[in-house]
Amino acid sequence: MKSNTKADKSPREPDLTDAVARCGADASMMDRLGRIYESADRAVARTGAVCLGGGPCCRFDLFAHRLYLTPVELAMLVSQPAPDSAYADPGRCPYQNGPRCIAYARRPLGCRIFFCQGEKRLFERLYERYHREIRSLHESCCIPYSYGELVACFMQLFPNE
């Protein structure tokens, strides 16, 4: 069943590249996203959750999950040069280098809030809260909101990688 809502847009739609470029060019928007991320990081720290840094959550294909993000999050992630795609494994985060994230400071909300261990409902509530803020950020900056899977979005932005 096909829906016409903006949230249901496919990450393959041509406006993703334009939305990411517009987000990246809006310094105020990027600064506001940074403040949302800082707030989310503080909320997670208060839970006592600790990332062990082994990278199993970045191996989407092995960990049985997928990472979704918005255009502004994707703009933040790709604001610095992308990793060499020759070393990226299909179905895995393109920013994973061995067990480490080479985009840790720019990582999306889903990475900031996902933990291999811990109270799942607590993290779901945190994600929903901060995701609403990111969605509102899109609306206040008049940049179309969409929600797409990281690997598919990355492939659309960098089709020859």
110-159: pLDDT as tens digits: 988 877 666 667 788 999 999 999 999 999 999 999 999 988 888 888 77
Query: Is residue 3 one of the residues assigned to a domain?
Result: no
pTM over 0.85? The answer is: no
For residues 101 and 93, the answer to whether their CB atoms sit within 8 Å is: yes
Range of the domain at 85: 9-157
For residues 39 and 126, the answer to whether their CB atoms sit within 8 Å is: no
d(C-alpha 149, C-alpha 161), whole Å = 17
Query: Is residue 19 one of the residues assigned to a domain?
Result: yes
d(C-alpha 95, C-alpha 102), whole Å = 6
For residue range 67-76, list pLDDT tens digits in order: 899 999 999 9
Query: Is residue 1 one of the residues assigned to a domain?
Result: no
Split at pLDDT 50, 70, 90, the class of 7 is very low
Query: Is residue 2 one of the residues assigned to a domain?
Result: no
For residues 4 and 144, the answer to whether their CB atoms sit within 8 Å is: no
Q: Please tell me the total count of domains within the chain.
A: 1
